Amino acid sequence: MTDAPPLAGIVVVELGQSVAAPFVGQLLADLGALVIKVEKPGGDDARAWGPPFIDGAAATFQALNRGKRSVVCDLRDPAQHALLTRLVLERADVVLQNMRPGQVDSLGLGAEALCARKPSLVYCNIGAFGRRGPLAERPGYDPLMQAFGGIMSVTGEPGRPPVRVGPSIVDIGTGLWAAIGIVLALYRRASSGAGGVVDVSLFETAAAWMGPFALQFLASGTLPGKQGTGQAGIVPYRAYATADGHVVVAAGNNELYRRFCTALAHPEWIDDPRFATNPDRVASAAHLDALVEPVMAGRPNAAWGSIFDAAGVPCAPVQDVGQLLAHEQVGALGLLASLPGLSQPVMGPALSLDDERPFAQTAPPALGETTIEALLAG
């Protein structure tokens, strides 16, 4: 990576809270942008999403807001509103917002109003259900979209109640789409001089996550169901209980299946006609699992890891968060970093540039640590 980070000189005004917009702002800050987080007088709701709390704010907030500057602004106060508008017009390259549908427009801070006054502005709307349609005015949150978008229908164990995927994959996924859109708009602006409007939504992200399942349904007419730790269409491709935990095996083709059977010391399963090809194994998954499960239960995770690694069978133990953080691979990649002013290390972005991980070097901001007047002055 060059001495200057990729987005050095770019100023972002973040009108948002919770997860999606803060994640985008943090990613842009990691890439070098100056991100100004505009908070209501009580602060981002995520500041109170605890316990646990770290250095005065919830751990969730601290994980999503490094590298930013915080200003407090009552958007309904005419004087403060005027100052914020001036900040956007004089300094901002990007505005991103995930406020309730219609709220920014009613305040005169929407894309149409601001881009008309500053055509070079890149404006990103992070919505719930998208810009149009019968649900466009409804709010949305990650678990609602995991439900409405069908994700919960394929998550969990067969015959059990719906399960939410633990990480906020809809919020974070929407944030990634937003970041891509913003960077694309900035790239286009570099040659044309014109900004533009980026629209992303939680619903569109949830629907996009379901793309393979949608095509499976369209091709077969059969609704995809819950697979537990497995994957419809590939067998064996799931977690098996061991003597002290679980190990996921991903034998995604015939050669890997042969290696898997050999590693289990049951080569007779290789030529069993019930398991000859992957479609055969999918049709006979229950029979195969009934054979595999007692064998896997006879050894601990570490033993199976060594056996499968030696055989060239892709596998992984099911780790908890503590095991993840303690693993040497996390340290080798530099995924965790300590920030001045923050008592616990934080997880960095999942990319590197020129073998360096871009990482904002300041802790998440205290509420209202700076002012719009100070930002305008300097």
Per-residue pLDDT of the chain (378 residues; tens, 9 = 90+): 557 899 999 999 999 899 999 999 999 999 999 999 999 999 999 999 999 999 999 999 999 999 999 999 999 999 999 999 999 999 999 999 999 888 999 999 999 999 999 999 999 999 999 999 999 999 999 999 999 999 999 999 999 999 999 999 999 999 999 999 999 999 999 999 999 999 999 999 999 999 999 999 999 999 999 999 998 899 999 999 999 999 999 999 999 999 999 999 999 999 999 999 999 999 999 999 999 999 999 999 999 999 999 999 999 999 999 999 999 999 999 999 999 999 999 999 999 999 999 999 899 999 999 999 999 987
**Burial category of 81 from C-beta neighbours within 10 Å (exposed 0-12, middle 13-18, buried 19 and up):** middle
Do 170 and 308 lie in a common domain? no
What is the tally of structural domains in the chain? 2
86 in a structural domain? yes
140 in a structural domain? yes
130 in a structural domain? yes
- Give catalytic residue positions: 171
pLDDT digits (tens, 9 = 90+) for 129-153: 999 999 999 999 999 999 999 999 9
Do 173 and 307 lie in a common domain? no
| CATH code for the domain of 275 | 3.30.1540.10
Cα–Cα distances (Å) from 99 to 15, 20, 96, in that order, read: 7, 11, 10
Q: Which tokens hold the place of 337?
A: 């970093």
Do 195 and 61 lie in a common domain? yes
- pLDDT for the residue 327: 96
Q: How many helices (H) and strands (E) does the chain have?
A: 16, 13
Per the CB < 8 A criterion, the answer to whether 187 and 6 are in contact is: no
Do 296 and 161 lie in a common domain? no
- pLDDT for the residue 1: 54
284 in a structural domain? yes
- Range of 267's domain? 237-241+246-317
325 in a structural domain? no
219 in a structural domain? no
Per the CB < 8 A criterion, the answer to whether 35 and 26 are in contact is: yes
Q: Which tokens hold the place of 71?
A: 């200003």
- Residue finishing a domain among 317, 348, 366: 317
Maximum CA pair distance of the chain?
A: 79
Do 168 and 251 lie in a common domain? no
Do 310 and 337 lie in a common domain? no
Q: How far apart are CA 97 and CA 287, in angstroms?
A: 52
- pLDDT for the residue 374: 94
Supply the DSSP symbol for 267. Answer: G
Q: How many other β-carbons are positioned within 10 Å of the β-carbon of residue 319?
A: 14
Do 305 and 339 lie in a common domain? no
228 in a structural domain? no
Q: Which tokens hold the place of 126?
A: 């992070």
Do 101 and 65 lie in a common domain? yes
- pLDDT for the residue 2: 56
Do 188 and 95 lie in a common domain? yes
Q: How far apart are CA 357 and CA 32, in angstroms?
A: 12
Do 191 and 276 lie in a common domain? no
* Residue 37, helix vs strand vs coil: strand
| CATH code for the domain of 72 | 3.40.50.10540
Q: How far apart are CA 140 and CA 15, in angstroms?
A: 17
- Residue finishing a domain among 291, 317, 343: 317
222 in a structural domain? no
pLDDT digits (tens, 9 = 90+) for 31-78: 999 999 999 999 999 999 999 999 999 999 999 999 999 999 999 999
Half-sphere exposure of 80 (CA within 13 A, CB side): 13
Do 133 and 93 lie in a common domain? yes
Backbone angles phi, psi at 285, to 5 degrees: -60, -45
Do 337 and 362 lie in a common domain? yes
